[in-house]
Every structure is written in structure tokens, then in C-alpha cells.
Amino acid sequence: MNSWDQFLTEEDRAIVARGRFGRRMGFGQRPAVVVIDAQRYMVGEDGADAQWPSSCGATGRRAVKEISRIVSAAQEANVPCFFTLFELCRSGNDMGVYRQKRDLLQSEHWCLAGSFGAQLVPELKPGPADIVFSKKKPSGFHGTPLLGYLVERQIDTVIIVGGATSNCIRATVFDAASYNLRAIVPQEAVFDRIPISHAISLFDMDRQFADVVSIEQTLNYFRALNAPTRNQTEIAENHEKQTVRTGL
């Protein structure tokens, strides 16, 4: 059962079936992991979330454990990992129109540049071949070098993890699809503050622009990449056959 199933009516299901939405793309041959905003301010602190104004709470902390599994498996398989950090100047002069929707919070537990909250969570350890960079907008692509890095490495598949599902994950997935990249979202490795926002965003992504999969499917893909006797085309074809519909 997917997290969005409880919110759909029979009429909704019929619309999706009639339009033949939600087909599987499957994994490609040259993947990268994109970790979106897995920062301290996003996951807060157990027992002290009230002091972290943007914390996703226990949901975020559980997801970080799964993100760590994915990053470790990717690094073992020599799959590049890219980590984004959302940071804002303390003056707020780079906040743009977002400041019309959200106050500038003068807190060391928020995403102000140089603050404790803006740091990558300690559970994640970028490797020597990984890249960490800052962004100012929801999408990991907007105004960043990410696309150039992916092109240079001939990446065809981006495995997108982090938070928040309804904001920066969703924006990054839509941009990835616009660049004709296969977007894969392991659902245990993304998180949000509000359950309904999380569920419906996963549904929307899975319906049109990404494959929402389980973490085990993702880890099995990495294990296959790391097997020396398998060739890349065979791996991609087998995973496409084995990947079950997570839509409707």
C-alpha cells in the first residue's frame, strides 16, 4: 500500500487508469544520487523540535537513516553523490520572493549561512568523489552547477532523496524530468512536515515524472551495479522488468 492510496477515490483511480499514467521508467545505466537539503535545521533534535522552526521531526530523522544507507551503497558502487545545502544570507537579501511567503528567521537552528542549522546532518559523510554545493531555490538544479556535473558524467538516472517532499524534492524531480533524466524517488528516504503533503506529492511525482520505489529496490540496483560480472545494459533491463508498479 502506498502512502497516497488512502486519499484517492474510485473516480481518481479511474482517471489515472484511463489516462494510462504511472508507467515505470526503471533505472538507467549511469546513476547519481542527489541528496536534497539533508541539514540539521530540516530534522531538528529528538525531544527539542520546538526549538527548530523548520524541523520535520521524527519523520525526518527516520528518513536520514535510510538516506545514509543509500549514500553508503552508492559510494561502494562508485556512484557519484551530490549534496545540496539550502542557505540564506543573514540579511535575507538573497531570499527573493520567498520572503513574501515566509519570515526571515534569525535563529541558529534555521538555514542561515554559517549557522549550526545549515550544516549537513552528521550521519551523512560525503566521499572524496562527492560534491557539496549550496542552492537558493527549491530545485537542486536552479542556479546551481548540478546539471553540468551530470552531463559531464553522462548520467541518465538521478536517485533523489532528502526533503521536503512537497517542496525541494518535488521541484528537483520536475526539473530532472524536464532535462530528460530518469528520476527515481525511494519513498522511505524522503520526508516532509505534513503527512498529506508528503503523500500527495509522491502520488503526483509517481503519476507523471518519476518512479517512486522502495529503498530495497534501490539498494538491490546498487548491489547489481557493484557485481563485476554483470554488464550495465543487462542490469537496467532486469530492474525495469522486476520493478512493480507503485502507482495504481
pLDDT digits (tens, 9 = 90+) for 159-176: 999 999 999 999 999 999
Which residue bears the cell 533534535?
Answer: 45
Contact 53, 107 (CB under 8 A): yes
pLDDT confidence bin for 1, thresholds 50/70/90: confident
pLDDT-based confidence at residue 192 (cuts at 50, 70, 90)? very high
Which of 218, 220, 207, 210 is CA-nearest to residue 169?
A: 210
Strands 157-163 and 190-191: parallel
What's the pTM value of the predicted model, to 2 decimals? 0.91
With contact defined as beta carbons under 8 Å apart, do 158 and 181 qualify? yes
Q: Is the pLDDT of residue 241 over 70?
A: no
DSSP 104-122: PP--TTTTBTTSSTTSBPT
How many CB atoms are located within 10 Å of the residue 137 CB? 15
Domain boundaries, the chain: 27-242
Of the pLDDT bands very low, low, confident and very high (cuts 50, 70, 90), residue 83 is very high
Instruction: Provide the pLDDT confidence category of residue 247 given band limits of 50, 70 and 90.
Output: very low
Q: Which residues pair with 120 in a beta bridge?
A: 39
What is the pLDDT at residue 235?
54
Q: What is the mean pLDDT of residues 61-90?
A: 97
β-strand 31-36 against 157-163: which pairing, if any?
Answer: parallel
* % the chain with pLDDT above 90: 89
Cell numbers 519513498: residue: 187
Question: With 50 as the cut, is the pLDDT of residue 248 above it?
Answer: no
For 90-94, 110-114, 160-164, 232-236, which range has the lowest pLDDT when averaged over its residues? 232-236
* pLDDT recorded at residue 237: 58
Q: Which three cell numbers stand for residue 198?
A: 508528503
**Helices (DSSP H) in 110-193: which residue ranges?**
146-152, 170-178
What number of other Cβ atoms are within 10 A of residue 119's Cβ?
13
CB atoms within 10 A of CB 6: 10
At the top level of CATH, the class of 27-242 is alpha beta
Q: How far apart are CA 42 and CA 247, in angstroms?
A: 28
Measured CA to CA in angstroms, residue 152 lies from 32, 135, 144, 146 at distances of: 12, 20, 14, 10
